[in-house]
């Protein structure tokens, strides 16, 4: 049986290529569509120059809608940032933060999105105050539950309580699967080895992670093993990452509307060695989730010092994995060169 | 991230009173100019004074102090800004340029500085 869970891509995944102009927006959308990942998520200010400081040209928004229609895709989420540290030495006042979120609600609506993503550091009061406006515009504001935070963390519980108290269904959650790092990602280990971490210390950290040892103990042990600089940094990643429990999402299913399919590496056998997607998909199916899982490739920053990331191949492999886990009968494939539009523009 | 792509290859040029090169923000998004806390340029081991640096995008040029209160302009994702250093000029030949950017990012519990070093040639 085919699952009700849908596949999508956050264009964040292609950042290494789009940064360098190797892929255009059309390349990103076409490639996702060919993979059957019809849900498109963007970080507004990555994809659209000008947002939010000087605005986005109508021509750029028209182009977005043209491409979404051309490739039969669905706009899913505009991920906004809300830079409350915009002013040096003083935080952005509350009312201005709310007004800023409303502007992102408008931008999300202009792009035809159902959701806008709020970063996890934004205060619940700000989102609650913006909720009535989001309701009017048919947009839900989803706070991204992202490691080191998780569904049992008091900060997230405060959000959940505020959302319930508000009575608004325009407020919800967007869990990032990077909360469920079950094994120390091999691309992290390799990066730290390149930075000079001694092999015995790296092996110790990987094993300690597997044994779920408290981060502070691991850091002290590494210090006592003679670890310095990058070895301490490797141990400190345990402060920000952990194998939290996917089942914790079940309590919040009615407010979970989008998923970041975070991954650090997809191997040739279509396995993410650090994040248990088989378990995650089971939990989401158990919870009756019917939204998108949007690929979010974040291995780029861990390998770029050694090799040029191949984001498209990484996303392809994750989409094959997801399609199989969701019970689809065919593996997704890419038919057109992922850089076709960029090449055509360059030739003009 | 994108550290090794900050300085655009082959972009070193002479300008009136100094030199310029193209620089990109090492980030997965753009950033409003008020959140660029510092840009430090080092040439052949010599740190250039902050006052000598200018930042230019889409025809507008700012000092670093001016940028601190610019709320209506930004350094877009992947955008090649012209970084100008008014140091009196550089000799022809190859120079080692280090370009370091310090950002104030709302959600990060630290203030990141990212840098890139490249050998750039200045034509005679």
Yes or no, beta carbons of B107 and A120 under 8 Å apart: yes
Q: Of A53, A148, A191, A194, which to mutate for an interface test with B (greatest number of B Cβ within 10 Å)? A: A53
> At A180, is the secondary structure helix, strand, or coil?
strand
Confidence of residue A40 (pLDDT cuts 50, 70, 90): very high
Work out the number of other CB atoms within 10 angstroms of the CB of residue B49. 11
Compute CA distances A179 → A113, A136, A151, A260, whole Å.
Answer: 25, 32, 9, 10
Residues of A in contact with B104 (CB under 8 A): 85, 88
> At A52, is the secondary structure helix, strand, or coil?
coil
Per residue in A176-196, pLDDT tens? 999 999 999 999 999 999 999
Yes or no, beta carbons of B5 and A121 under 8 Å apart: no
What is this structure's pTM? 0.96
Window B:73-102, CB contacts with A under 8 Å: 73-74, 76-79
Instruction: Write down the pLDDT at residue A140.
Output: 98
Extents of the domains making up chain A: 6-182+243-342, 186-236
Listed in sequence order, the residues at least 6 apart from B31 whose beta carbon sits closer than 8 Å to its beta carbon are: A83, B25, B74, B75, B103, B105
pLDDT at A83 over 70: yes
A120 and chain B: CB distance < 8 Å anywhere? yes
Instruction: Write down the pLDDT at residue B110.
Output: 80
Window A:85-104, CB contacts with B under 8 Å: 85-88
Listed in sequence order, the residues at least 6 apart from A153 whose beta carbon sits closer than 8 Å to its beta carbon are: none
List per-residue pLDDT tens for chain B, 124 residues long: 899 999 999 999 999 999 999 999 999 999 999 999 999 999 999 999 999 999 999 999 999 999 999 999 999 999 999 999 999 999 999 999 999 999 998 888 788 889 999 999 998 7
Strands A292-297 and A258-263: parallel
Yes or no, beta carbons of A19 and B2 under 8 Å apart: yes
Q: Which of B1, B24, B32 sits opposite A83 (nearest CB)?
A: B32
Report if residue B124 sits inside a domain.
no
Instruction: Write down the pLDDT at residue A195.
Output: 97
Residues of B in contact with A45 (CB under 8 A): 29-30, 74, 76-77
* Contact assessment for residue A108 and residue A138, using Cβ atoms and an 8 Å cutoff: no
Instruction: Write down the pLDDT at residue A203.
Output: 98
Q: Of B23, B24, B25, B32, which to mutate for an interface test with A (greatest number of A Cβ within 10 Å)? A: B32
Instruction: Write down the pLDDT at residue B36.
Output: 96
Report if residue B80 sits inside a domain.
yes
Report if residue B16 sits inside a domain.
yes
Residues of A in contact with B37 (CB under 8 A): 88
Q: For chain A, give the percent of residues with pLDDT over 70.
A: 99
pLDDT at A280 over 90: yes
Task: Find the helix or strand (DSSP H, E) in which B32 lies.
Answer: strand B31-32
Q: Is the ipTM of this complex over 0.85?
A: yes
Whose tokens are 């950042």? That residue is A15
- Nearest Cα of chain B lies from the Cα of A38 at a distance, in angstroms, of 22
Burial B92-111 (b: 16+ CB within 10 A, else e): eeebebbbbbebbbbeeeee
How far apart CA B12 and CA A107 sit, in angstroms, is: 38
Total number of domains in chain B? 1
Mean per-residue pLDDT, A288-315: 97
How far apart CA A19 and CA B24 sit, in angstroms, is: 9
Instruction: Write down the pLDDT at residue A29.
Output: 98
pLDDT at A3 over 80: no
Q: Of A18, A43, A85, which to mutate for an interface test with B (greatest number of B Cβ within 10 Å)? A: A85
Report if residue B74 sits inside a domain.
yes
* Contact assessment for residue A310 and residue A16, using Cβ atoms and an 8 Å cutoff: no
Compute CA distances A22 → A15, A167, B63, B102, whole Å.
Answer: 10, 45, 31, 26
pLDDT at A1 over 70: no
Closest by Cα among A100, A160, A156, A163 to A131: A163
Residues of A in contact with B72 (CB under 8 A): 53-54
Nearest chain A residue to B77, by CA:
A46
* Contact assessment for residue B75 and residue B119, using Cβ atoms and an 8 Å cutoff: no
pLDDT at A165 over 70: yes
Domain region containing B85? 3-119
User: A6-182+243-342: what fold?
Assistant: TIM Barrel (3.20.20)
B60 and chain A: CB distance < 8 Å anywhere? no
Per residue in A242-276, pLDDT tens? 999 999 999 999 999 999 999 999 999 999 999 99
Mean per-residue pLDDT, A231-250: 97
Instruction: Write down the pLDDT at residue B112.
Output: 83
- Nearest Cα of chain B lies from the Cα of A200 at a distance, in angstroms, of 27
Instruction: Write down the pLDDT at residue A2.
Output: 59
Residues A145/A147/A150/A153 CA torsion (nearest 10 deg): -110
A296 and chain B: CB distance < 8 Å anywhere? no
Closest by Cα among B31, B27, B28 to A83: B31
């Amino acid at each position: 049986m085919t699952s009700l869970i849908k596949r999508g891509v956050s264009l964040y995944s292609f950042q290494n290529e789009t940064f360098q102009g190797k892929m255009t927006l059309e390349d990103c959308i076409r490639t996702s569509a060919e993979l059957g990942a019809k849900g498109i998520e963007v970080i507004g200010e990555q994809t659209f120059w000008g947002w939010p400081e000087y605005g986005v040209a109508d021509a750029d928004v028209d182009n977005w809608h043209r491409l979404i229609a051309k490739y039969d895709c669905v706009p899913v989420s505009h991920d906004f940032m809300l830079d409350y540290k915009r002013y040096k030495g003083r935080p952005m006042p509350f009312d201005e933060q709310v007004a800023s979120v409303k502007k992102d609600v408008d931008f999300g609506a202009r792009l035809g999105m159902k959701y806008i993503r709020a970063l996890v550091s934004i205060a619940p009061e700000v989102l609650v105050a913006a909720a009535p406006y989001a309701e009017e515009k048919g947009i839900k504001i989803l706070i991204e539950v992202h490691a080191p935070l998780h569904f049992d963390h008091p900060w997230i519980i405060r959000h959940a309580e505020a959302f319930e108290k508000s009575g608004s269904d325009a407020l919800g959650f967007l869990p990032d699967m990077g909360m469920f790092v079950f094994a120390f990602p091999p691309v992290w280990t390799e990066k730290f080895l390149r930075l000079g971490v001694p092999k015995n210390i790296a092996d110790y950290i990987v094993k300690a992670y597997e044994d779920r040892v408290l981060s502070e103990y691991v850091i002290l042990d590494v210090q006592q093993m003679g670890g310095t600089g990058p070895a301490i940094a490797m141990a400190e990643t345990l402060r920000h990452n952990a194998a939290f429990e996917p089942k914790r999402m079940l309590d919040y299913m009615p407010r979970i509307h989008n998923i970041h399919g975070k991954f650090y590496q997809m191997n040739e056998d279509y396995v993410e060695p650090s994040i248990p997607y088989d378990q995650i998909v089971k939990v989401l199916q158990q919870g009756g989730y019917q939204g998108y899982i949007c690929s979010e490739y974040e291995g780029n920053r861990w390998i770029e010092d050694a090799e040029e990331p191949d984001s498209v191949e990484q996303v392809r492999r994750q989409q094959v994995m997801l399609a199989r886990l969701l019970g689809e009968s065919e593996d997704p494939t890419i038919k057109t060169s992922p850089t076709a539009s960029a090449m055509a523009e360059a030739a003009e | 991230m994108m550290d090794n792509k900050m300085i655009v290859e082959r972009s070193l040029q002479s300008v009136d009173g100094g030199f310029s090169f193209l620089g990109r923000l090492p980030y997965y998004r753009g950033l409003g100019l008020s959140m660029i806390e510092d840009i430090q340029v080092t040439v052949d081991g010599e740190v250039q004074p902050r006052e000598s640096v200018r930042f230019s995008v889409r025809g507008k040029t700012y000092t670093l102090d001016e940028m601190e209160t610019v709320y209506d302009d930004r350094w877009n994702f992947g955008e090649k800004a012209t970084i100008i250093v008014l140091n009196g000029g550089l000799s022809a030949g190859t120079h080692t340029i280090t370009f370091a950017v310090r950002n104030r990012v709302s959600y990060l519990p630290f203030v990141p500085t990212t840098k890139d070093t490249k050998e750039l040639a200045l034509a005679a």
